[in-house]
Amino acid sequence: MTIILVRGQHVITMNAQREVLTDAAVAIENDRIIAIDNFEKLCVSHPDAVIEGNPRAVITPGMINGHQHLTGDRLIRSMIPDTIDSQEAIFGWAVPTHSKHTERDDYLSAVLALNEALCHGITTTVEAGTVGHPASVLKAQLAMGTRGTLGSWGWDVEDGPFAGTVSEVLDRQREVMRLTKDTALIDGWVTLVGHDLMSDELVTSASQLARDNNTRITFHISPSSGDTTSYLARTGKHPVRHLYDLGVLGSHVLLAHAVHLNDDEIDCVVETDTAVAVCPWAYLRLAQGITAAGRHDDMLKRGVRMSLGCDSENAGDAVDPIRNAALFAGLIRDRHMDPTIMSAVDALALHTIDAARAIGMSDRIGSLEVGKQADLVVFGTDGPEWLTRSTEPILQLIWASSGSAVDDVYVAGKAVVRAKKSTQITGSTFTDIVAEAQERMTFLAGR
Ligand SMILES: [Zn+2]
């Protein structure tokens, strides 16, 4: 089997020592990393290897996005006004768009969202729990060659798109597990919309379904203070305390957001080893209060497993892990008026190795280490932001650069992006998808 050497001026491993190698390469055989070392040395030990990357590149592990809607928002991208409140943005715009989605819309939407993700270096995308037609999204995931997770729309509210009884919602989740049973790169997860849009019976049995199937569950909770208000009215308790008392929380749970948590709720998260996906751009765009109420730094200090996420294309908008990491680090540093509290390396970890821990995949991905899956990103350094080259490439990557610098992306050893373009859906097939999605935007957004 052919061995590929992906070379760069800097190879950022994100291993336990956070080693950065200079003039180095990552050797790939099939889907795995078989060596990481000095480039010349690897050329000697693998004389027949194919050489990729380039001598000036920055190589990183594939980025992990812990919370991304692959449908709905994408087809009305940046169309939701930014001067309305988040409830109106979600229930006046996003949810109605989902309700009008056909199976084809789910496919178009997921292709475009994953195209942006992959072209910006995201190799693993955790779908956020609003997929109406999972088979269509799976088709897009397989076509684009991404790694990720898939669920199905889950809520048992009175009305709304894809609303169902507890047993209907659970059956849909089981169907996703059946669909993804034999897919190497896509894991079936249990996904609920969350907030206060799930009965106690639904969230309890969905959490158990994830446990029984040795998989994970994710749902939205407390991005704004609204969930606290409604849980207090309904249960007399704060949301995460209520979920703790129901026995829902655990290491198989990834809470999306968890911005407005009190001390007791943080204790519940810590004690149960529950993980959190944090999407800072969404809270800023939707004005949900992370600067006033966010407690993610306290959770990190107490060892909570955490991943950064990009959310959706009308809340966060850019599917760009580098912009995201820089923003989050900045918010945390500013809150404490202390630059030592989160470094660029720490921020990068929240899209790589720490994110892998948060989603239970750190045995496979999240760092460049021998034996792990060959998910890696080649950042080109021809742009003006790389003149001159720092000897601290992580500082330059996080604070000065963006996902737009990505040239090539590998998932499980396969180049799925080359020279900034997908290798998977190309040419007129891709431009036809873009044109079709553009037409659907006019219909879906009513404009
Ligand atoms: Zn979301």
Same domain, 133 and 12: no
CA of 371 to the centre of ligand 1 (A): 33
Mean pLDDT (the chain, rounded): 96
Mean pLDDT confidence for 382-397: 97
Cα-to-centroid distance, 129 and ligand 1 (Å): 8
Contact by Cβ (8 Å): 138, 179: yes
Is a pLDDT exceeding 90 seen at residue 280?
Answer: yes
**In which band, very low, low, confident or very high, does the pLDDT at 445 lie, cut at 50, 70 and 90?**
confident
- Whether 326 and 390 map to the same domain: the answer is no
Q: Is residue 445 in some structural domain?
A: no
- Residue 441, domain member (yes or no): no
Count Cα neighbours of 205 within 13 Å in the Cβ-side half-sphere: 17
Distance 345 CA to ligand 1 centre (A): 26
Residue 44's domain is classified under what CATH number?
Answer: 2.30.40.10
Query: How is residue 133 written in tokens?
Result: 């037609």
What is the percent of the chain with per-residue pLDDT over 70, rounded to a whole number?
A: 100
Residues of the domain holding 100: 63-358
- What digits encode the pLDDT tens for the residues 198-252? 999 999 999 999 999 999 999 999 999 999 999 999 999 999 999 999 999 999 9
Residues 114, 227: one domain?
Answer: yes
Give me the residue label for tokens 């199905």. Answer: 152
368: in domain: no
172 alpha carbon to ligand 1 midpoint, in Å?
19
> Rounded to an integer, what distance in angstroms lies between the CA atom of residue 361 and that of residue 340?
28
Question: Do 103 and 205 fall within a single domain?
Answer: yes
388 cis-preceded (ω within 30 degrees of 0): yes
Q: Are 186 and 147 in contact (CB under 8 A)?
A: yes
Q: Which CATH number does the domain housing residue 286 bear?
A: 3.20.20.140
- In contact, 325 and 394? CB cutoff 8 Å: no
pLDDT, tens digit (0-9, with 9 covering 90-100), for 348-371 = 999 999 999 999 999 999 999 999
* Alpha helices (runs of H) in 273-307, residue ranges in sequence order: 280-285, 290-293, 296-301
Task: State residue 20's pLDDT score.
Answer: 98
- Cα of 282 from ligand 1 centre, angstroms: 9
> What is the distance in A from the centroid of ligand 1 to the CA of 306?
15
Using the predicted structure, report yes or no on whether residue 420 has a pLDDT greater than 90: yes
Residues 192 and 300 in one domain: yes
447: pLDDT strictly greater than 70: no
Token pair, residue 166, equals: 């507890």
**Distance from the alpha carbon of residue 123 to the mean position of ligand 1, in angstroms:** 19
Which tokens go with 366?
């999240």
Q: Are residues 228 and 302 in the same domain?
A: yes
* CA–centroid distance, residue 428 to ligand 1 (Å): 32
**Of the candidates 112, 88, 20, the residue with the CA atom closest to the CA atom of residue 60:** 20
- DSSP E strands, 372-420: 376-379, 406-411, 414-418
- Residue range 35-47: mean pLDDT, rounded: 98
**In this structure, are 280 and 382 located in the same domain?**
no
In the reported structure, the alpha carbon of residue 130 is separated from the centroid of ligand 1 by a whole-number distance in angstroms of: 8
99 and 247, same domain (yes or no)? yes
| Same domain for 77 and 215 | yes
Q: Does some domain include residue 282?
A: yes
pLDDT of residue 124: 98
Ligand 1 centroid, distance to 1 Cα (angstroms): 41
**Above pLDDT 90, what percent of the chain?**
92
Q: How many whole angstroms from 320 Cα to the centroid of ligand 1? A: 16
Residue 111 lies inside a defined structural domain of this protein: yes
Query: Ligand 1 mean position to 17 CA, how many Å?
Result: 33
Looking at the structure, tell me whether residues 140 and 181 fall in a common domain. yes
Residues 383 and 283 in one domain: no
Q: Is the pLDDT of residue 446 over 80?
A: no
What confidence tier does 87 reach under pLDDT thresholds 50, 70, 90?
A: confident
Burial class (CB in 10 A: 0-12, 13-18, 19+), 111: buried
Calpha distance 72→445 (Å, rounded): 10
User: How many residues are given for the chain?
Assistant: 447
Q: What distance in Å separates the CA atoms of residue 73 and residue 421, rounded to the nearest whole number?
A: 22
How many domains are there within the chain? 2
Q: Is residue 35 part of a domain?
A: yes
What's the 88 CA to ligand 1 centre distance in angstroms?
Answer: 15
Give which of 370, 368, 380 is closest to 408, Cα–Cα. 380
Residue 6 pLDDT level (bands cut at 50, 70, 90): very high
DSSP secondary structure letters along 387-440: SSPPS-HHHIIIII--GGGEEEEEETTEEEEETTEESSS-HHHHHHHHHHHHHH
Indicate whether 428 belongs to any domain: no
List, for residues 240-255, the tens digit of each pLDDT value: 999 999 999 999 999 9
CA of 289 from ligand 1 middle (Å) equals: 16
Question: Per residue in 123-179, pLDDT tens?
Answer: 999 999 999 999 999 999 999 999 999 999 999 998 889 999 999 999 999 999 999
In this structure, are 190 and 252 located in the same domain? yes
Does this model's pTM top 0.75? My answer is yes
Higher pLDDT, 97 or 37: 37
Identify whether 431 is part of a domain: no
